[in-house]
A = this chain, B = another copy of it.
Amino acid sequence: MEVSMIEQQETEPASQEVVETNTRERLVNAAVEVFLERGYGGTRVQDIARKAGFTSGALYVHFPSRSALLSEAIIREGKIILDSMTESLDSLETQASTPIQAMAAFATAPTTKFDRLLLDALALAAGSEEFRTELDGALHGFVDSIRSRVTASKARGSIDQSVDVEALCNLYVSWVFGSVVSKALGLSMSDPDGLADIGAKFRSSI
C-alpha cells in the first residue's frame, strides 16, 4: 500500500470555493492561490486583489503590506497542510502500516508546491512568536500523532524495548521536515526502493 501524506492538498484547500466569506478571508484565499502559482517573489498585490474581486487599494484596507497578507496566507495554509499530514498518519491501519513506511513514502514522493509553502510556514513560525503560536496546535498535533504510533509500536513489541520513544519520535519528525526541505530545494531524490530498503533494515533493527 502506498501512503501519500499530503495527497489531499493537491486539489482541495487552495481551490476550495467558499461562497459565504468575508473580505479578509477572500483576500487570504486569493493570496494562497497566487502564491502557490507564482511563489513569494512572483506574487503581486494586483493579482491577489484581482483574484479576490477587489482593487489593490481595498486590499490595503485589510492588510498593512503585501508581506503581512502573504505571511498570514502562508501560515494558514501551512496549518492545513500539517493537519492533513497528521490526518493521513492517523488514518494508517495500526497493524498494516508503520510510521516508517508512511515517512519513506512521503520522503520519496514527488515534490509539490506544498513542500515549498510548508517550508515557508515553518520558517515564518521559527522567526515570529505570533506565527509560532498560530502554528503550534498543528505542529504538536503532528508530533503527537507520530509519538502515539511509536508508543503503540513499542507496546506491541514491534520495536526494541530499549528504544527511547522521544528520541525515535524526534528522529521521525526531523526526517519528515527534512524531506520537506530536500524536496522544496529539489535536492536529488534517491529512488523510493533504495529508501524503502533502508527503512526496512532500520525498522528491523529497532
Contact = CB atoms under 8 A, between A and B. Distances in A.
B194 A167 contact: yes
Given A175-B174, A201-B206, A127 B120 contact: yes
A29 interface: no
A190 interface: yes
Count of identical protomers in the assembly: 2
B123 A160 contact: no
B206 A107 contact: no
Interface in A39-90: 39-41, 67
A170 B195 contact: yes
A167 B191 contact: yes
Contacts of A14: none
Contacts of A119: 122-123, 126
A3 interface: no
A181 B177 CA distance: 7
29 contacts: A39-B127, A40-B127, A67-B67, A107-B171, A119-B123, A119-B126, A120-B126, A122-B184, A126-B181, A132-B185, A143-B187, A163-B198, A164-B197, A164-B198, A166-B188, A166-B194, A167-B191, A167-B197, A168-B194, A169-B190, A170-B189, A173-B178, A174-B174, A174-B182, A175-B175, A176-B178, A177-B178, A202-B206, A205-B205
Given A126-B181, A163-B194, 17 more contacts: A40-B128, A41-B127, A107-B171, A116-B126, A119-B126, A139-B185, A164-B197, A164-B198, A170-B190, A170-B195, A173-B182, A174-B182, A175-B178, A177-B177, A177-B182, A201-B206, A205-B205
